[in-house]
Amino acid sequence: MKKWIALFVIGGLALLCFFELRKKSASPNVPQPSSAPTARAGNERDVAPTVPAARTNKLTAAPALPDLPEPVRAAQTVMFKYVGAVKPPRFDPTIIAFNMKTNKEGRITSTTITTRSHTAVTTGGFVSLFVSLLDSAAPLEEYERAHSMEKWYQLTGTWTRDEAVAETKLILQRLGQTSVLSRVTSEVYEATPLDMPAPDGQLAHVTPFITVKLKGEDDRLFVTAQYRMEASGPVLTRWTYWP
């Protein structure tokens, strides 16, 4: 009798585990169109993943989304126009998530598209945010955010203020935003040198990121461009544009 009870209990537990596993595999990361901010448990990132597999799981292995809704396809076209003009390195066009934000009248005010390499937010006919998930100063990928600064010692590129400002204005011009360009009244150049330790313990005196801001009257911020100062040259990793 005891043997049967034990078998019954073990069988029950096995079934429970089976259903739990099924439940988990049946709820992938599906984008939820929502205009409300998303809450997240406060301390879920306290333990950083220790293996690069986490990176693989979230981005590169995420499945492409089939049958995109029309507003997302329109946003995708806007994003491709931006990509054609700016040519961001390591860009992977495979869309793995999207989100449409609406106002209280139900009109879509912005569309967010996440590819395997970048997140783009489009508003109307332009890209208002384009950010690298892996290479920006605050990467949006879990593994990269936990470990990115360990590689900053390699960012030995240099740039003058004039070069950085000129490049930012050139991008704005390539995007066809010449009317906004003519409203720019001041430029802000932010370059903070840091002493970043290399794995051998040596300190590298580098300026890992340079940021240029283009402003108009009343301190209105039109553009924030963040460049990653790689040894081979600056790479635009974060672009915000709000005319």
Q: Which residues bind other proteins (CB under 8 A)?
A: 29, 31-32, 35-43, 45-46, 58-59, 62, 96-99, 101, 103-105, 107, 109-110, 112, 114, 119, 121, 123-124, 129, 131, 133, 137-138, 140-142, 145, 149-150, 152, 190, 192-197, 208-209, 211, 218, 220-221, 224, 226, 240, 242-243
CB closer to other proteins, 11 vs 29: 29
Cα separations in angstroms, 151 against 74, 84, 178, 229? 37, 28, 37, 12
Cα–Cα distance between 151 and 57 in angstroms, integer? Answer: 21
120 strand-pairing partners: 113, 130
**Pick from 28, 37, 98, 40: which is nearest to 69 by CA?**
98
CB closer to other proteins, 3 vs 68: 68
Six-digit token string for 110: 């912005």
Amino acid symbol at 206:
V
CB closer to other proteins, 2 vs 217: 217
CB of 79 to other proteins, least distance (A): 15
CB closer to other proteins, 81 vs 145: 145
Six-digit token string for 202: 């040596």
CB of 98 to other proteins, least distance (A): 7
Cα–Cα distance between 39 and 45 in angstroms, integer? Answer: 14
CB closer to other proteins, 135 vs 141: 141
CB of 150 to other proteins, least distance (A): 5
CB of 156 to other proteins, least distance (A): 15
Calculate the CA 239 to chain-centre distance: 11
- Through-space distance between the first and last CA atoms of the chain, rounded to whole angstroms: 78
CB of 138 to other proteins, least distance (A): 6
